[in-house]
């Protein structure tokens, strides 16, 4: 836990509440919620105009951030804190704004402290707009219960 100033008072917040990808307290964050299904860690996200690159298109940095979130957070569900050492994004087609995206990540291989991950960004019609690969380095342990399915999360959208 970390103490952060809120006005003149000190407020006790979980430091992950400010994560750009999943933080509930971050006013400009993506506020992703996750679910684990069939060996994949998944989030849904509907990008708006504030996430735009060219007209009607999601910024590529946000696409990469979405992939990094699902791939980088998945080991936490198994009690492993891991950081991204390498991230590769292949943009297959422009990702449109206003459509609900399903972002998934899964383990490809584990070697010692290295975890190789893969991921996709998929439109509702099944079109893959981006693919990702990541190499993560295990840096410690975490409480896996803090990273399990979010009851307010994407269960309804992820099947």
Q: Are residues 92 and 134 in the same domain?
A: yes
Q: Are residues 70 and 3 in the same domain?
A: no
pLDDT at position 133 is 98
How many independent structural domains does the chain possess? 2
Question: Has residue 128 been placed in a domain?
Answer: yes
Structural domain of 22 = 1-31
pTM of the full structure: 0.84
For 112, phi and psi rounded to 5 degrees? 60, -120
**DSSP per-residue codes, 39-99:** TEEEEEE---GGGBSSTTBB-HHHHHHHHHHHHHHGGGGGTEEEEEEEEEEEE-SPPBTTS
pLDDT at position 159 is 34
Q: Are residues 58 and 4 in the same domain?
A: no
Q: Are residues 43 and 121 in the same domain?
A: yes
Question: Has residue 148 been placed in a domain?
Answer: no
Q: Are residues 27 and 10 in the same domain?
A: yes
pLDDT at position 82 is 94
CATH code for the domain of 89 = 3.10.129.10
Mean pLDDT, 10 residues at a time, the chain of 159 residues: 41 65 85 88 94 95 97 91 96 97 97 98 98 97 78 40
Q: Are residues 14 and 85 in the same domain?
A: no
């Amino acid at each position: 836990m970390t103490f952060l100033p809120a006005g003149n008072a000190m407020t006790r917040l979980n430091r992950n509440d400010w994560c750009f990808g999943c933080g509930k307290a971050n006013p400009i964050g993506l506020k992703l919620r996750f679910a684990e299904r069939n060996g994949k860690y998944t989030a849904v996200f509907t990008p708006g105009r504030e996430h735009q690159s060219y007209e009607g298109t999601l910024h590529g940095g946000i696409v990469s951030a979405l992939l990094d979130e699902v791939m980088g957070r998945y080991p936490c569900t198994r009690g492993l804190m891991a950081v991204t050492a390498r991230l590769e994004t292949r943009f297959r087609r422009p990702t449109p704004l206003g459509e609900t995206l399903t972002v998934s990540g899964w383990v490809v291989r584990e070697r010692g402290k290295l975890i190789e991950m893969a991921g996709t960004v998929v439109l509702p019609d099944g079109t893959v707009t981006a693919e990702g690969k990541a190499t993560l380095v295990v840096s410690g342990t975490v409480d896996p219960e803090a990273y399990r399915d979010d009851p307010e999360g994407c269960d309804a959208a992820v099947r």
